[in-house]
Amino acid sequence: MSTRCSNQLSYPPEQTDIIPTRRAFGNAWYNRSAMPRRKAPEELTEQELRRLLIEKRRGARRERIEHFRRTGRVVAVAADLEPGAAPATESRPQAAAPPEVTRGRRTLDRLLFAVEVLAVVGLVGVILSGMGILRDLNREVAEALAPAAVEPTPLVTAVVLPSGHTPPDAQGNSRPNDAEIPEHLRPMVQSLGSITVPTPGPEQAIRISIPALRVNAPVVQGDGWEQLKKGVGQHIGSANPGQSGNVVLSAHNDVYGSLFRFLDKLVPGDLVIIYTQQRQYVYVVTGASIVEPTQVEVMAPTPDSTATLISCYPYMVNTQRIVVFAKLQN
């Protein structure tokens, strides 16, 4: 939008007043005396060209805004607040006062809280009980699925107590008393044969001393007829001295040195000293008993460290056994 300016207009020379005229350079006001004629673009300075371009763009923008206003596409903007004016705040409805809690309501709340606590405690108890039941079931299932432990059948190594023999005759001869063996067990005893003597070790008994009887004799492994000719015999399979279990020692009372002839003279408190290759062990006599030759239970293992001394009884009769029991001192 521009307005042509005629270069042919002239003004009387006597007119000195500046007549403002509105031209279409961006709705700008100017006087004719300031710009008597329209300059060519090449005559304008850079600053003038820039100003004209700005005014032209400003005019075009105003026209667009006016067009938007006419078509309803302009949003009205609130005017700036005056200095010191407080911004308008949205009024909010005041919160309603909480309802008054009555005594009955408090009692009901406490009752409900107690019920909740009891429910939580009961739930915890149910969970713990379920865990215990599950653990027991798992243990029972594991025990049912586990293979049964195979326990070896105890090997019968003696059906009668050792050292049994016939009384010596006039020439001092004696032999094992097979009549002591029950008749129904004799075939089994004959089938057992001789028991293998274990290899000597540092923990095996090698000597025994009974100060009260002035006995000091060697100890050999095995309590058969041939072993007892050499001294005191240790029953094969019995515990070693000092170990938990029963050390079973036997000897004759009227032949081959008569080492255990006076076992019946021992009383509780007497000492029995058993030697190994490494040390000695002191046992204290706790008691004695007269038993039948078939009472082999006196040779059974014990949970404590004990010693059992066995010999024939009575002297020169040999129809029974005398058994002396002792316990490790320390």
From the number of C-beta atoms within 10 Å of its C-beta (0-12, 13-18, 19+), residue 246 rates as buried
Torsion on CA atoms 142, 143, 146, 152, rounded to nearest 10: 160
Output the six-digit token pair for 134: 């599950």
What one-character DSSP code corresponds to residue 301? Answer: -
What is the pTM assigned to this prediction?
0.52
Residue 218 · residue 232 · CB < 8 Å: yes
Residue 208, amino acid: I
For the chain, the domains span 22-71, 178-184+202-328
pLDDT of residue 36: 54
For the chain, percent helix, then strand, then coil, each to nearest 5?
A: 30, 20, 50
Helix (H) or strand (E) holding 288: strand 280-291
Which residues lie closer than 8 Å to 319 by C-beta, 6 or more apart?
293
Residue 134, amino acid: L
pLDDT of residue 206: 96
pLDDT of residue 143: 84
Q: How many C-beta atoms lie closer than 10 Å to residue 72's C-beta?
A: 7
pLDDT of residue 326: 98
Q: Look up the CATH architecture of domain 178-184+202-328.
A: Beta Barrel (2.40)
How many alpha carbons fall within 13 Å on the CB side of residue 61?
A: 6
Cα angle 138, 143, 149; round to 5: 160
Residue with tokens 């020439």: 171
Residue 162 · residue 249 · CB < 8 Å: no
Residue 233 · residue 223 · CB < 8 Å: yes
Distance CA 282, CA 298 (A): 20
Positions in the chain whose pLDDT score sits under 50: 1-30, 32, 151-156
pLDDT of residue 80: 58
pLDDT of residue 28: 45
Distance CA 288, CA 242 (A): 21
**pLDDT 10s digits, 190-218:** 666 566 777 888 999 999 999 999 999 99
pLDDT of residue 18: 42
Residue 170 · residue 330 · CB < 8 Å: no
pLDDT of residue 235: 94
